[in-house]
């Protein structure tokens, strides 16, 4: 379990990015963190693996303050895939990028190779193993950065804007992989603006604005709340828009709907169906 207790953080002591954030992340959860640019989302996740340390407050992993852990020690438990893959990639081939992480964690050459190839196959990168990451497209580099973290199998996987640069097919593959990891007991946390991706794949959403948590709860409840959507500068889900339009005509149709099955059920009920 990870606990953030009244965490405050300011860059260079000037720009305040987090203002008293408290959050509990239980083992095996799938959580989305949403909000506008500058809301504090990326700053929050960088506190989980020690890349940033609180100015005030505490981050606690399994009952121990993370100030007692090095970044290297935390990275064994909490893997972070950054929004910009170029901040993580630095070696001459895709394969070496992934092997580097595994070698640093002490895996044998045989196991490192096996983990590397399995992860490349899972992410559709098997044909790019000998390519330089810097000759790849933005979406491909994003998947290489993800592969370098996934191969180490951290118990907590944190991803910053993982769907940027990915087409619909790759989004589906990513969603399937994250679901499989979660079913194996991994905790999955994503920072994203992709509201439809969140609705379809994450049961819990944390909404942020101005360095504070505005809402935290079931995704369908948080993302159908007009006040939260406006305060966090999010785009309202398409199905919520449809439900609101239908509500204006049929008052029995609830306005706070984000799932297609719920909307279909509401419409059938209004029309007297079964």
Determine the average pLDDT of the residues in 113-140. 88
- Pick the most confident of 2-16, 118-132, 172-186, 204-218: 204-218
Please tell me whether residue 21 adopts helix, strand or coil conformation.
Answer: strand
- Side-chain half-sphere exposure of 257, counting CA atoms within 13 A: 21
- The pLDDT mean for the chain works out to 89
Consecutive H or E run containing 16: strand 15-25
pLDDT band of 274, cuts 50, 70, 90 = low
Q: Where are the domains of the chain?
A: 2-219
Q: Tens digits of per-residue pLDDT, 141-158?
A: 888 888 888 888 899 999
Q: Which residues pair with 4 in a beta bridge?
A: 23, 59
Determine the average pLDDT of the residues in 86-99. 88
Instruction: Determine the distance from the C-alpha atom of residue 260 to the mean position of all C-alpha atoms in its chain, rounded to a whole number.
Output: 23
Tell how strand 187-191 and strand 156-160 pair up: parallel
Q: How many whole angstroms separate alpha carbon 107 and alpha carbon 115?
A: 10
Contacts with 161 (C-beta within 8 Å, 6 or more apart), sequence order: 83, 191, 192, 193
Tally Cβ neighbours within 10 Å of residue 69: 18
Q: How many whole angstroms separate alpha carbon 228 and alpha carbon 208?
A: 9
Instruction: Determine the distance from the C-alpha atom of residue 233 to the mean position of all C-alpha atoms in its chain, rounded to a whole number.
Output: 18
DSSP string, 136-195: S-HHHHHHHHHHHHHTT--SEEEEESTTTT--HHHHHHHHHHHHHHHHTT-EEEEE-S-H
* pLDDT greater at residue 41 or residue 261: 41
Q: What is the reported pLDDT for 41?
A: 95
Tally Cβ neighbours within 10 Å of residue 5: 16
In this prediction, what percent of the chain has a pLDDT beyond 70?
A: 99
pLDDT at 17 over 90: yes
- Pick the most confident of 51-60, 112-121, 127-136, 239-248: 51-60
CATH number of 2-219: 3.40.50.300
pLDDT at 235 over 90: no
């Amino acid at each position: 379990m990870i606990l953030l207790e009244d965490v405050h953080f300011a860059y260079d002591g000037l720009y305040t990015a987090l203002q008293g954030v408290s959050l509990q992340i239980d083992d095996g959860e799938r959580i989305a963190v949403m909000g506008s640019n500058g809301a504090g989302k990326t700053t929050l996740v960088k506190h989980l693996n020690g890349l940033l340390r609180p100015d005030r407050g505490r981050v606690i992993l399994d009952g121990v303050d993370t100030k007692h852990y090095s970044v290297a020690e935390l990275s064994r438990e909490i893997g972070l895939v950054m929004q910009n893959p170029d901040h993580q990639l630095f070696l001459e081939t895709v394969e070496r990028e992934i092997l580097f992480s595994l070698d640093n964690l002490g895996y044998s050459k045989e196991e490192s190779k096996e983990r590397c190839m399995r992860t490349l196959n899972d992410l559709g990168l098997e044909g790019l193993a000998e390519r330089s990451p810097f000759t790849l497209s933005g979406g491909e580099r994003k998947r290489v950065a993800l592969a370098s973290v996934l191969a180490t199998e951290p118990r907590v996987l944190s991803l910053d804007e993982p769907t940027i640069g990915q087409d619909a097919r790759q989004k589906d593959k990513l969603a399937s992989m994250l679901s499989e990891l979660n079913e194996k007991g991994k905790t999955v946390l994503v920072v994203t603006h992709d509201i439809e991706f969140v609705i379809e794949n994450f049961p819990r959403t944390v909404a942020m604005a101005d360095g504070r948590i505005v809402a935290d709860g079931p995704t369908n409840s948080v993302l159908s709340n007009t006040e939260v959507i406006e305060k966090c500068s999010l785009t309202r889900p398409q199905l919520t828009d449809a439900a609101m339009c239908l509500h204006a005509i049929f008052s029995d149709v609830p306005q706070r709907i984000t799932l297609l099955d719920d909307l279909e059920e509401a419409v059938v009920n209004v029309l007297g169906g079964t």
